[in-house]
Amino acid sequence: MKPCKIKICGLSRFSDILAVNQAGPDYIGFVFAKSSRQVSADKARQLKSELDTRIKAVGVFVNAPLEEILYLTGQGNGREPVIDMIQLHGDEDSSYIRKLKDHTDLPVIKALRVRDTEQILRAQELPCEYLLLDTYTANAYGGAGAGFDWSMIPELTKPFFLAGGISTDNLVQAASCQPYCIDVSSGADAFCRAGAKICRFHDTKGNFPSSEGSAYYQRRELGFLCHSKGWRRRPGCHKRH
């Protein structure tokens, strides 16, 4: 079983950057869509300049013009890219994704507001590198921090990010669903107020003493624990098809 990665989304302050640099997730997210955590391109560029280079920045968009996304990839403007991956969290379809990929080689994550298993299986056909499974909320593109029924997640061939109401209380169960990456968003606010809280979040994976080793490598405990424990999907975290 491959280790789980971690993404902390919705960073908008320099204090957030300092906190994640200490905690060392694999990915962070800058939200460019209308949101309480929305950042401008200029602000994201400033934040990215302070981000640990080992952490990849994901740009989150909702039905954005292609030009807006491509500007942040550095495509055609001669500037350093602000983002390393693209997350589409709106109604973007296969045609939109193909047009985007005609102009950039950056990996694309397509978010899915989960309603049923069949919907997830169909989404595997989309021309993106990753899926992101989030909670369906009427009249909203985000899951509003709520979880969904993980038993709807089938065995998938495409790697997926798991989002929606994940916290220290259900982190182990989330990992047992075997996502490529666990995505914390609305719950990240509390963690980003202090780097220690983010580290404590990661420490739920294996009780690695915070005084030993660098915080950047401590965050990998979730993956190591998944592997060392030989976890399999629990009832309530899969259906076989």
DSSP annotation string for 94-161 = HHHHHHHHTT--S-EEEEEEE--HHHHHHHTTSSSSEEEEEE-BTTBSS-TT----GGG-B--SS-EE
**pLDDT tens digit string along 23-77?**
888 999 999 999 888 999 999 999 999 999 999 999 999 999 999 999 999 876 7
Nearest to 57 by CA among 91, 36, 82, 74: 82
Q: What are phi and psi of 47, to 5 degrees?
A: -65, -40
Query: Is 105's pLDDT higher than 90?
Result: yes
What is the pLDDT averaged over residues 187-216? 43
What residue spans of 61-170 are helical by DSSP H?
66-72, 94-101, 117-123
Give CA 64 to chain center in angstroms.
Answer: 19
The reported pLDDT for the residue numbered 64 is 97
> Which residue's entry shows tokens 């790697």?
159
The reported pLDDT for the residue numbered 171 is 81
> Which residue's entry shows tokens 């200029």?
42
The reported pLDDT for the residue numbered 210 is 35
Contact 168, 201 (CB under 8 A): yes
What is the pLDDT averaged over residues 4-27? 90
Identify the helix (H) or strand (E) that includes residue 41. helix 41-49
Distances (CA, A) of 74 to 6, 45, 80, 81, 108: 25, 11, 6, 4, 16
pLDDT band at 173 (very low <50, low <70, confident <90, very high): confident
